[in-house]
Structure 1
Amino acid sequence: MKTKEWTILWVLGLIWGTSFLWIKIAVADVSPLVLVGFRTLFASLGLGAIIYHYRESMPSWKELRKRVPDFLIIAICNISIPWALISWGEQYVDSGIASIINSTMPLFTIIIAPLMIKEEGITISKIAGLITGFIGVILLALPNVQSGWNQGLNGMAACLLSSVFYAFSAVFARKKGTGLPPQLQAFLQLSMGSAIIWIAVFATEGIPALPNHALTWVALLWLGLLGSCIAYILYFYLLHRIGPTRVSTTTYISPLVGVLLGIIFLGEPFHWQSFAGALLILSGIFIVNLKNKKVELEPAD
């Protein structure tokens, strides 16, 4: 990768690393669905303003109409479901733990990518990385397992499932989302995702309760404008420049930021199982990205 791409990758990882802190703060005041609803709403408004500014260079509705089904799938799998899962999960797990679990996304990507993109082959190093990473997930869950099935494990499972959706949507977006400006790709998925979430909010909660604290509004604005609007412009730019497997390595950075912020601002503990689990997951991601040209399995068509 070039210096510009490395820089954007680090900026994206830092932005998303802060998101787990703000989610933890906001979900203490509003429901998970309302949190995601405001996050996607603010992101859509920000992206809408950017799209309007560059409207002369944007494709026409006639060109976009046939792409709507693809971006509806991306909106559901990359926004609505995983964001709701993470927000729900952070009611029961520390923000640092949620950020570590989120870093499993590249491990799921190496399973899904070969099924959809022929160039993304399965190698021995990827298999070794996958096994290493999931041993880390098991180690991470051990403190909760010892006390039987509980809400902590439910929260971890929700965060882990969100990584599966992220991985699928990254591969799907690489395959189906090409040919549009990054700003427009981000706007399409976030605006559709916002509509889906608000339908779910009114269907399940009726008229939702608004945030009671000023800090919650700060969290929602941060998550919407920086953690979603700006972040997804950077994400889609990288996705089509370096591919889903490489762009998913932002998760090297996010857990380090998420854990540190959780300890400093929320007083979250960090046990040795968390450290060992994070180390194994990140080691797995590192192994996945090792060059292994001698032994390669035939990818699926």
Structure 2
Amino acid sequence: MSNSIKWLYLVVLSLIWGSSFILIKKGLIGLTPMQLGAVRIIFTGIFLFVIGFNKIKTIKIVEWKWVILTGLTGTFFPAFLFAYAETEIDSSIASILNSLVPLNTIILGFAVFKIKSTKRQVLGVFIGLIGTIMLIMNGATINPNQNYLYAAFVILATLMYAININLLKRYLQNMHALTITVGNFLAIIGPAIIVLISTGFFKTEVLTSEALKPALFYMLLLALFGTAIAKVLFNKLVQASSPVFASSVTYLMPIVAVFWGVLDGEKFSLLQGVSTIIILVGVYLAHRKGN
């Protein structure tokens, strides 16, 4: 894959995923966090099975454990964590905190996968963490009615994304991107259906709610673009580049998400802007290759 194609994938993914945070926010108007996460997974699974179910037979038995693990860490748990986070914090803040993915990729790569880190990368991680603390503290100040402890859900999701990226690069490097994605959703759609049933989603009062139809429409958009198409593109990007380059999609996502958030009436202060820049500087330093 040429460099220009890699960057094209990066930009397209940034636009798609940057818009996903506002779709989650809108979906929460008619769905609980557990319902939203489950519906998102189920819709995406249906789309993927239609276009690529025949890919399942190409997955070897020994590869299934990695397919299942990447399905859980890259999609299943984050779908619920982001939904819970956005019940309390703004969609734009969730997207900025998502920028921690490259930093966590480096931390986990060093701690778990024994990938060496440079001094510049360590400095980048440190700067990024400072920016994160500033962002959370300032957000709590200008939005006193929001519980910023819920930012921990986003941070936990970024750790899972980082695990997913390292697993993809190490164990599924040679598997077709669509095969990985379809396999992921075959592994997690069953648990998602169980979760959805357990939430009481199929009760009459839920199914007849006026807020349900628009919420399901937002989830259809999120499932088709933000999860199904984007996951295939992302898996291709991870295989064709480095884990850190692939995770640097989070450079551009906050710009898109903040744009949607401000349009939707979310508060975004100058200090939060400074905090965002500090985080992205940290990500840049951590991402940049040493001499």
**TM-score (structure 1 length as normaliser):** 0.88
Listed as ranges, the matches of 1:141-290 within 5 Å are 141-143=136-138, 152-203=147-198, 205=200, 207=202, 209-210=206-207, 212-213=210-211, 214-264=213-263, 266-290=264-288
Residues 1:40 and 2:41 aligned together: yes
Counterpart residue number, 2:5: 4
Cα displacement string for residues 63-114 of structure 1 (whole angstroms, at most 9, x for unaligned residues): 4333222222112211121111110010100100000011111111110113
Amino acid at match of 1:10: V
RMSD after superposition: 2.2
Query: Which whole-Å CA distance do the structure 2 matches of 1:131 and 1:180 have between them?
Result: 34
Amino acid at match of 1:105: V
Query: Which whole-Å CA distance do the structure 2 matches of 1:232 and 1:177 have between them?
Result: 14
Unaligned runs of 5+ in 1: 294-301
Residues 1:30 and 2:31 aligned together: yes
Counterpart residue number, 1:60: 57
Q: CA deviation at 1:116?
A: 4.7
Query: Which whole-Å CA distance do the structure 2 matches of 1:200 and 1:220 have between them?
Result: 16
Q: Secondary structure at the residue paired with 1:77?
A: helix
The correspondence for 1:133, drawn from 105, 108, 128, is 128
Query: Which whole-Å CA distance do the structure 1 matches of 2:254 and 2:30 have between them?
Result: 24
Query: Which whole-Å CA distance do the structure 1 matches of 2:31 and 2:251 have between them?
Result: 29
Unaligned runs of 5+ in 2: none
Q: CA deviation at 1:277?
A: 1.4
Residues 1:102 and 2:98 aligned together: yes
Q: Secondary structure at the residue paired with 1:143?
A: helix
Q: CA deviation at 1:279?
A: 0.7
Cα displacement string for residues 20-70 of structure 1 (whole angstroms, at most 9, x for unaligned residues): 000000012101111111111121111112214xx4xx4636x43332222
Amino acid at match of 1:47: L
Amino acid at match of 1:93: I
Counterpart residue number, 2:22: 21
Counterpart residue number, 2:52: 51
Change (3 A) 1:4 1:146: closer
Query: Which whole-Å CA distance do the structure 2 matches of 1:158 and 1:151 have between them?
Result: 14
Change (3 A) 1:14 1:142: same
Q: CA deviation at 1:194?
A: 2.6
Counterpart residue number, 2:74: 78
Fraction of identical pairs, as percent: 26
Q: Secondary structure at the residue paired with 1:292?
A: coil
The question of whether the paired residues in 2 share the 8 Å contact of 1:71 and 1:189 is answered with yes
| Larger mean Cα displacement after TM superposition, 72-81 or 24-33 | 72-81
